[in-house]
Amino acid sequence: MLASTFVGISVDGFIARLNGEFDFLPAGGGEEHGYREFMASVDALVIGRGTFETVLKFEEWPYGDKRVVVLSTRPLDFSGVRREGVRVEQMSGDPGGIAARLEAQGVRHAYIDGGITIQRFLRAGLIQRLIITRVPVLIGTGIPLFGVVDADVPLRHVATRTYASGLVQSEYAVAD
Q: Enumerate the domain spans of the chain.
A: 2-174
Q: Is the pLDDT of residue 18 over 70?
A: yes
pTM of the model: 0.92
Predicted confidence at residue 156, as pLDDT, reads 97
Confidence at residue 20, expressed as pLDDT on a 0 to 100 scale: 84
Beta bridge partners of 157: 172
Determine the pLDDT at residue 31.
75
> What is the mean predicted confidence (pLDDT) over 44-51?
94
Residue 144 CB-density burial (10 A; 0-12 exposed, 13-18 middle, 19+ buried): middle
Full DSSP string of 2-61: EEEEEEEEETTSEEE-TTS--TTSPGGGSS--SHHHHHHT-SEEEEEHHHHHHHTTSSS-
Q: Which CATH superfamily is domain 2-174 in?
A: Dihydrofolate Reductase, subunit A (3.40.430.10)
Tell me which of 1-5, 20-24, 70-74 is least confident. Answer: 20-24
* Average pLDDT value for residue range 59-79: 90
- Residue 136: band (very low, low, confident or very high) from pLDDT cuts 50, 70, 90: very high
% residues pLDDT > 70 (the chain): 98
Half-sphere exposure of 63 (CA within 13 A, CB side): 27
Low-confidence winner among 28-32, 39-43, 72-76, 159-163 (lowest mean pLDDT): 28-32
Region 108-115 average pLDDT: 95
Banded model confidence at residue 29, pLDDT cuts 50, 70, 90: low
**pLDDT mean across residues, the chain:** 91
Weakest-pLDDT range from 83-87, 151-155, 160-164, 168-172: 83-87
Q: What is the CA radius of gyration of the chain?
A: 16
Q: Which of 164, 176, 170, 172 is nearest to 26 (CA)?
A: 164
Average confidence (pLDDT) over 108-137: 95
